[in-house]
Amino acid sequence: EADLTQLDALVILSGDGLLFEVINGLVERPDWEEAIQKPLGILPGGSGNALAASLHYYSGAPPVSGEDLLVSCGFLLCKGSVSHMDLVSIQLSSGSRLFSFLSLAWGFVADVDVESEKYRHMGAARFTIGTLVRLASLRV
């Protein structure tokens, strides 16, 4: 466990997945309440880079992508721009807890999409029928 008091910030070159792991690692520390107060910076190095792109957008900088997004996010980090973000806390039935910073999804939507194929002949109504059928057969 690194001594975070010696650091001004943590900067990660990654996509959203590694940032998820870092955040969840920070909250597992004994000093988690202080650890999550440490500024986190992200330089886009993944395939989606949704958080980096969102932060870039809300900074007011002109839209960019690819390597230009990496360079622009680097400049934002050098400027020391800090924005507070909310985290979503998820308590699982197993007792473990996860934190989400970008989005939260439930496999239900994907299940409806896949399982509604048999109702394709109904057009767009297939999703309504598929949803009702899926709700009636939820696995708990």
Q: How far apart are CA 70 and CA 53, in angstroms?
A: 9
| Closest by Cα among 99, 101, 83 to 41 | 83
Q: Which amino acid is at 130?
A: G
Q: What angle do CA 42, 45, 46 make, to 5 degrees?
A: 110
Q: How far apart are CA 66 and CA 53, in angstroms?
A: 10
Q: How far apart are CA 112 and CA 118, in angstroms?
A: 11
Clarify whether 111 is annotated catalytic: no
The SS3 assignment for 95 reads: coil
The SS3 assignment for 90 reads: strand
> Which one of the listed residues 8, 16, 111, 113 is annotated catalytic?
16
The catalytic residues are: 16
